[in-house]
A and B are shown apart, each in its own frame.
Chain A
Amino acid sequence: MTVRDDVQSMEGAGAPPRSNGELVFDSPWQGRAFATAVGLVERLGLDWDAFRSRLIAAVSADADRPYYDSWVAALESLVTDTGLLDPVDVADRAAALET
């Protein structure tokens, strides 16, 4: 099993929206967030579960939140927990994008 097999076959609590078996992105940023997480997990040599477990936690923390909002929360927790990025830097950059 590779990361992409695991991504492709996600079911249950962390399963992404699909149509006829294919992933559905409502807007381009969702696709980019999706690919960033997949690429990051591959690059770090982690199991997909390192992300998936965070995704499931994020989904269950706020069940009404849109799926890819939870996805981004999971991605942020992965990169800050592993020390790759400083949460303050992420917040600063996000704020700087507002202008």
Chain B
Amino acid sequence: MSERDHHPAPMTDVERRARALEELLVEKGVIDLATVDAIIDAYANDIGPMNGARAVARAWVDGGYRERLLTDAVAALAELGIGGPEGNIVVVANSVGVHNVVVCTLCSCYPWPVLGLPPAWYKSPEYRSRVVREPRAVLAEMGCDVAADREVRVWDSSAELRYMVLPERPAGTDGLSEDELAALVTRDSMIGVATL
């Protein structure tokens, strides 16, 4: 028998119930333990906006990494140990002439392996429809004024392809370490509804 039988503390009723369900489903071949373990890892291991922020900070200090992040984000994120169980992620860079913003017009697809839990407004019908029609107005209402001579590009996510914005590095941050830079990167800046 497995080491699970040497449980250190008495199991509660619900714990026994949960274990019985898992064991029977595994024995019947409905699910397998590796899948269960992989799902636990995917959710328990640091899914949150700091993953995206780490990648942004690395891109700011390492031009080679920036190129890799923009050309093959999945591989570049994997370099930092960031992985999603599914779906492709594409990173789009803000620049002097371009501001990028991300939406999912159909539902609420979101690059959660890098950004964590989507904010409530991301799923609102209003944001989803208006940011496509009048992105500048929506951004301004959210406190993000984009200069008139700067192009606004709206990226529509799907289950197969999710976008993350690489914001511009703020001025006056030359002396900061990579960790300090990562701490400056907000979730909203990686959705594209804020600048830094």
- Interface membership of B22, Cβ < 8 A: yes
Minimum CB–CB distance from A94 to chain B (whole Å) comes to 4
CB 8 Å contact bits of A34-71 with B (1 = contact, 0 = none):
11101110011000000000000000000000101100
Q: Chain B contact residues: over half helix, strand or loop, or mixed?
A: helix
B24, A85: Cβ atoms closer than 8 Å: yes
A8 near B117 with CB under 8 A, answer yes
| B43 and A5 within 8 A (CB) | no
Q: Is the interface of A mostly helix, strand, loop or mixed?
A: helix
Contact surface of A with B, Cβ cutoff 8 Å = 1-2, 4-5, 7-9, 11, 18, 20-23, 25, 27, 29, 31-36, 38-40, 43-44, 66, 68-69, 72, 75-76, 79, 84-85, 89-91, 93-95, 97-98
Q: Which residues of B contact A (CB under 8 A)?
A: 11, 13-25, 28, 30-31, 35-37, 39-40, 42-44, 46-49, 85-87, 107-110, 112, 116-118, 120, 123, 159
Q: A5-B112, A39-B31, A44-B30 are in contact. List 14 more A-B contacts (CB 8 A).
A: A4-B86, A29-B11, A35-B37, A35-B39, A35-B43, A43-B31, A72-B14, A75-B18, A76-B21, A84-B30, A85-B24, A90-B17, A95-B16, A98-B11
